[in-house]
Protein backbone atom coordinates (compact mmCIF):
# COMPACT_ATOMS: atom_id res chain seq x y z
CA UNK A 1 0.00 0.00 0.00
CA UNK A 2 1.37 3.39 -0.96
CA UNK A 3 1.93 5.83 1.90
CA UNK A 4 0.80 9.43 2.18
CA UNK A 5 2.15 11.42 -0.74
CA UNK A 6 2.81 15.13 -0.56
CA UNK A 7 3.79 17.34 -3.47
CA UNK A 8 5.87 19.28 -4.07
CA UNK A 9 8.67 18.30 -1.68
CA UNK A 10 10.30 21.72 -1.74
CA UNK A 11 8.93 25.11 -2.70
CA UNK A 12 10.38 28.60 -2.79
CA UNK A 13 8.06 31.58 -3.00
CA UNK A 14 8.29 35.31 -2.42
CA UNK A 15 6.24 37.43 -0.05
CA UNK A 16 2.77 38.25 -1.30
CA UNK A 17 2.48 35.20 -3.54
CA UNK A 18 0.13 32.32 -2.92
CA UNK A 19 0.87 28.62 -2.81
CA UNK A 20 -1.06 25.37 -3.09
CA UNK A 21 0.17 22.14 -1.52
CA UNK A 22 -1.20 18.73 -2.34
CA UNK A 23 -1.72 15.58 -0.28
CA UNK A 24 -2.82 12.13 -1.41
CA UNK A 25 -3.83 9.96 1.56
CA UNK A 26 -3.42 6.24 1.91
CA UNK A 27 -6.04 4.41 -0.10
CA UNK A 28 -9.21 3.98 1.95
CA UNK A 29 -8.38 6.76 4.40
CA UNK A 30 -11.04 9.42 4.52
CA UNK A 31 -9.57 11.77 7.11
CA UNK A 32 -6.82 14.16 6.11
CA UNK A 33 -5.25 16.65 8.47
CA UNK A 34 -2.60 19.31 7.96
CA UNK A 35 0.11 20.49 10.33
CA UNK A 36 2.65 23.28 10.22
CA UNK A 37 6.06 22.68 11.77
CA UNK A 38 8.52 25.46 12.58
CA UNK A 39 11.56 25.54 14.88
CA UNK A 40 9.93 28.18 17.07
CA UNK A 41 6.34 26.93 17.36
CA UNK A 42 6.82 23.22 16.81
CA UNK A 43 4.08 21.15 15.25
CA UNK A 44 0.75 22.96 15.06
CA UNK A 45 -2.59 21.76 13.78
CA UNK A 46 -4.04 23.60 10.78
CA UNK A 47 -7.25 21.74 9.87
CA UNK A 48 -8.82 18.36 9.34
CA UNK A 49 -11.14 17.12 6.61
CA UNK A 50 -13.37 14.09 6.41
CA UNK A 51 -15.56 13.29 3.41
CA UNK A 52 -14.96 16.76 1.94
CA UNK A 53 -16.05 18.52 5.16
CA UNK A 54 -13.79 20.51 7.44
CA UNK A 55 -14.40 19.19 10.95
CA UNK A 56 -11.79 21.07 12.91
CA UNK A 57 -9.62 24.13 12.42
CA UNK A 58 -6.58 25.37 14.28
CA UNK A 59 -5.69 28.93 15.23
CA UNK A 60 -4.38 30.19 11.93
CA UNK A 61 -5.41 33.28 9.96
CA UNK A 62 -7.88 33.06 7.12
CA UNK A 63 -5.00 33.15 4.62
CA UNK A 64 -4.69 29.44 5.32
CA UNK A 65 -7.40 27.39 3.69
CA UNK A 66 -7.92 23.87 2.53
CA UNK A 67 -10.25 21.52 0.80
CA UNK A 68 -10.80 17.85 0.24
CA UNK A 69 -11.98 16.17 -2.91
CA UNK A 70 -14.33 13.22 -3.33
CA UNK A 71 -11.35 10.87 -3.73
CA UNK A 72 -10.06 12.09 -0.31
CA UNK A 73 -7.12 13.94 -1.82
CA UNK A 74 -6.60 17.27 -0.14
CA UNK A 75 -5.05 20.60 -0.93
CA UNK A 76 -4.11 23.48 1.28
CA UNK A 77 -3.66 27.02 0.09
CA UNK A 78 -1.81 29.91 1.64
CA UNK A 79 -2.50 33.33 0.17
CA UNK A 80 -0.47 36.52 0.54
CA UNK A 81 2.57 34.67 1.84
CA UNK A 82 4.57 36.13 4.72
CA UNK A 83 8.12 35.34 5.77
CA UNK A 84 6.76 33.62 8.87
CA UNK A 85 4.93 31.10 6.72
CA UNK A 86 8.24 29.41 5.98
CA UNK A 87 7.81 25.96 7.47
CA UNK A 88 7.50 22.25 6.90
CA UNK A 89 3.88 21.47 6.08
CA UNK A 90 2.86 17.95 6.95
CA UNK A 91 -0.20 16.07 5.88
CA UNK A 92 -1.52 13.04 7.75
CA UNK A 93 -4.25 10.57 6.93
CA UNK A 94 -6.26 8.02 8.85
CA UNK A 95 -9.45 6.00 8.45
CA UNK A 96 -11.74 8.08 10.64
CA UNK A 97 -9.55 10.77 12.23
CA UNK A 98 -10.37 9.89 15.82
CA UNK A 99 -8.43 7.87 18.38
CA UNK A 100 -6.31 6.14 15.81
CA UNK A 101 -2.80 6.58 14.57
CA UNK A 102 -2.08 9.13 11.90
CA UNK A 103 0.10 8.29 8.93
CA UNK A 104 2.25 11.24 7.93
CA UNK A 105 3.66 12.22 4.57
CA UNK A 106 7.24 13.44 4.09
CA UNK A 107 6.06 17.04 4.04
CA UNK A 108 6.47 20.08 1.84
CA UNK A 109 9.29 22.42 2.86
CA UNK A 110 8.11 25.93 2.02
CA UNK A 111 10.57 28.81 2.00
CA UNK A 112 9.24 32.35 1.67
CA UNK A 113 11.79 34.95 0.58
Contacting positions for other proteins (CB under 8 A): 4, 31, 33, 35, 42-45, 48, 50, 55-56, 58, 88, 90, 92, 97-107, 109
Q: Residue 35 or 64: which CB sits closer to other proteins?
A: 35
Q: Residue 56 or 80: which CB sits closer to other proteins?
A: 56
Q: Rounded to an integer, what distance in angstroms lies between the CA atom of residue 15 and that of residue 99?
A: 38
Q: How far is the CB of 83 from other proteins (least distance, A)?
A: 19
59 DSSP 8-state letter:
S
52 DSSP 8-state letter:
T
- Cβ–Cβ < 8 Å for 44, 56: no
Q: Residue 71 or 96: which CB sits closer to other proteins?
A: 96
Q: How far is the CB of 65 from other proteins (least distance, A)?
A: 17
Q: Rounded to an integer, what distance in angstroms lies between the CA atom of residue 77 and that of residue 109?
A: 14
Amino acid sequence: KAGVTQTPRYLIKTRGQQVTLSCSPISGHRSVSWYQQTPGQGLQFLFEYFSETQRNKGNFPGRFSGRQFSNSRSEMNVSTLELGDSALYLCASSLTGRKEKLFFGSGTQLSVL
